[in-house]
Amino acid sequence: MKNALVKLAAIWGVWTALAILLASASALYRINVGQPAQLAHNLRIVLLNYWIWAVLTPIVFYLAKRFRFCRDSWARAIALHFCFYLLLTLAHGLIAQAIRIPAGAPDSYHGSLFRFRVVSSLYDSLWMYWPVVVIWSLFEYYQRYREQSMRAAQLKEQLVRAELQALRSQLHPHFLFNTLNSIASLMHEDVNAADDMLADLSLLLRAYFKSQDEQEVPLRQDIALVETYLSIQQRRFEGQLQWLLDLPPELLDAAIPTLLLQPLVENSILHGIAPRSAPGQIKLCVRRNGSMMELELADNGMGLAVDHKEGVGLSNTRSRLRQLYEDRHSFEIAGGKDGGVLVKIAIPLRLLPAQNGGFLDDDTHRDCGRRSAGPPADSVAAPTR
């Protein structure tokens, strides 16, 4: 009810303001040509005429809403609104005649004042009815555009969240089975190493299945996940897997999509390094380039196959980057200079507020005291400049 009263007051105010402007302009014209201003007399007539249109405006809004200008029916809408314009002109004439507003007919005219009033107001009514229809149509178009934009944004957010949840559930079964087999084998050879490997697997699974919807995390957190994953893989490869990290400390708090790096590292190991018998190496280099952050992940594995096709993991990564950053990112996969595969990613650089702890600090007390074998021989390199 309150909103309706506010809208009616706004309609009344607009028509009153237009009437005052028209009466003032008429008075200035009369003064300029040497005639009496007659401001009060003209203002009364103009106000009454415009207030009639203020009463008719809600009807015009309803007609504009009921008969929209759609792509496939715009001609029909124009014809209907032209008929409505004529009907409302007649309605205006009837109301003006009923409240005895002067029609402005010359003294020599002896015909019907109502007919004179309607015919003489056809042009003025044209500029009363059609602008209101156009204004309402533009407003409604803006409302629909805004609603569609909001729905698109919501769908985009839901899509990114769904892709993140799908990524969380894509822990490669072969990795899990191989890790469990390695733990079972180590139990007969090195119980402490098996215990550490089991603790790393527990941390990794906790990070994967933790219920959080953050689309971006600090770079340090995603690297911590990669280090936990690599700690398991390095024990599986018995020292034949090396991890190098070249990262300026000031970029540790840069925003990065959640779970961006680990699937790429897993892809390098699974398709590039694991099929070889030679030692493997994976290197991540992070640099700042103006307003962008560039990441290069390189391995010395088998390289790209001639008929290389992106799997689910890479397609998911490409889709998430597109959803999060639209055209403000790049994602390239190519063969490395010395063999292997090079993945290049560029995303907008944005530093997140410093956070206390991360996913590795959640419930880590459960694993305290279980690590006694220490890190593997080829542990993760510290961040360097």
Q: Are 196 and 373 in contact (CB under 8 A)?
A: yes
Last residue of a domain, one of 123, 158, 193: 158
CA distances from 16 to 9, 12, 61 (A): 10, 6, 18
96 in the same domain as 8: yes
Mean pLDDT of 183-188: 80
52 in the same domain as 29: yes
Asked whether residue 164 carries a pLDDT value surpassing 60, the answer given is no
Mean pLDDT of 293-315: 82
Range in 31-45, 84-98, 270-284, 358-372 the model is least confident about? 358-372
> Tokens 């009344």 identify what position?
12
Asked whether residue 374 carries a pLDDT value surpassing 60, the answer given is no
Q: Are 116 and 103 in contact (CB under 8 A)?
A: yes
Lookup: tokens for 199: 């603790």
Asked whether residue 382 carries a pLDDT value surpassing 60, the answer given is no
Task: Give me the sign of the Cα torsion angle 188, 193, 196, 197.
Answer: negative
Question: CA 262, 256, 354: angle at the middle one, nearest 5?
Answer: 115
Last residue of a domain, one of 129, 158, 187: 158
Report residue 212's pLDDT band, with 50, 70 and 90 as the boundaries: low
Asked whether residue 81 carries a pLDDT value surpassing 60, the answer given is yes
Instruction: Express as a percent the part of the chain with pLDDT over 90.
Output: 24
Is residue 381 in some structural domain? no
Instruction: Look at the chain and report how many structural domains it folds into.
Output: 2
Is residue 378 in some structural domain? no
pTM: 0.53
List the CATH number of the domain containing 276: 3.30.565.10
Is residue 211 in some structural domain? yes
Q: What share of the chain is helix, strand, coil (3-state, %, to 5)?
A: 60, 10, 30
More confident residue, 270 or 107: 270
Q: Which residues pair with 203 in a beta bridge?
A: none
213 in the same domain as 110: no
269 in the same domain as 200: yes
Is residue 384 in some structural domain? no
235 in the same domain as 181: yes
Is residue 192 in some structural domain? yes
315 in the same domain as 181: yes
146 in the same domain as 28: yes
Q: CB neighbours (10 Å) of residue 78?
A: 12
Is residue 210 in some structural domain? yes
Give Dmax over CA atoms of the chain in angstroms.
Answer: 121
Range in 51-55, 183-187, 377-381 the model is least confident about? 377-381
What is residue 286's predicted lDDT score, i.e. its pLDDT? 96
Last residue of a domain, one of 124, 158, 192: 158
197 in the same domain as 327: yes
224 in the same domain as 88: no
| Secondary structure (H, E, C), the chain | CHHHHHHHHHHHHHHHHHHHHHHHHHHHHHHHCCCCCCHHHHHHHHHHHHHHHHHHHHHHHHHHHHCCCCCCCHHHHHHHHHHHHHHHHHHHHHHHHHCCCCCCCCCCCCCCHHHHHHHHHHHHHHHHHHHHHHHHHHHHHHHHHHHHHHHHHHHHHHHHHHHHHHHHCCCCHHHHHHHHHHHHHHCCCCHHHHHHHHHHHHHHHHHHHCCCCCCEEEHHHHHHHHHHHHHHHHHHCCCCEEEEEECCHHHCCEEEECCCHHHHHHHHHHHHHCCCCCCEEEEEEEEEECCEEEEEEEECCCCCCCCCCCCHHHHHHHHHHHHHHCCCCEEEEEECCCCCEEEEEEEECCECCCCCCCHHHCCHHHCCCCCCCCCCCCCCCCCCC
The alpha-carbon radius of gyration of the chain (Å, integer) is 37
The amino acid occupying position 43 is L
**Which pLDDT tens digit goes with each residue over 4-22?**
888 888 888 999 999 899 8
**Which pLDDT tens digit goes with each residue over 237-265?**
777 889 999 999 999 999 998 888 988 89
Range in 25-34, 192-201, 352-361 the model is least confident about? 352-361
Asked whether residue 231 carries a pLDDT value surpassing 80, the answer given is yes
142 in the same domain as 218: no
256 in the same domain as 107: no
**11 is in which domain, residue-wise?**
2-158
What is residue 385's predicted lDDT score, i.e. its pLDDT? 38
278 in the same domain as 142: no
Closest CA to 229 of 380, 383, 382: 380
Is residue 163 in some structural domain? no
Mean pLDDT of 190-199: 83
What is residue 328's predicted lDDT score, i.e. its pLDDT? 92
Q: CB neighbours (10 Å) of residue 35?
A: 10
Task: Give me the sign of the Cα torsion angle 167, 172, 173, 175.
Answer: negative
Rounded CA gap, 115 and 104, in Å? Answer: 12
Mean pLDDT of 219-236: 87
Is residue 334 in some structural domain? yes
